[in-house]
């Protein structure tokens, strides 16, 4: 696979973030911070295609998230003015 999109996201704080369908399928919703939208927008080009999805959590103690974003496993993202 040559093309890919990689960005950080969280589940919104709503009960419907992960929903199951009676036909056996599943739907997920993601909150994507503003500084990740450029990468996530690549998904728009692939709306008519099947996607191979690989998800991995970011450990809380690992600080590889942009300084303007605080990762909160329960509440999603909080954007800060001017970083930390």
Write the pLDDT tens digit of every residue in 41-65: 999 999 999 999 999 998 877 656 5
Whole-number Å distance between alpha carbons of 83 and 70: 9
- pTM score over 0.75: no
Best CA proximity match to 14, nearest among 77, 79, 69, 76: 76
**pLDDT band at 73, cuts 50/70/90?**
very low
pLDDT on residue 14: 85
Q: Are strands 26-28 and 18-20 parallel, antiparallel or unpaired?
A: antiparallel
Who contacts 41 (Cβ-Cβ below 8 Å, separation ≥6)? none
């Amino acid at each position: 696979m040559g093309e890919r999109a990689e960005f950080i996201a969280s589940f919104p704080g709503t009960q419907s973030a992960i929903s199951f369908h009676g036909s056996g399928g599943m739907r997920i919703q993601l909150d994507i911070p503003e500084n990740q939208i450029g990468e996530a927008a690549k998904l728009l080009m692939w709306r008519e295609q099947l996607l191979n999805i690989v998800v991995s959590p970011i450990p809380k103690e690992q600080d590889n998230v942009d300084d303007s974003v605080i990762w909160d496993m329960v509440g999603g993202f909080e954007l800060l003015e001017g970083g930390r």
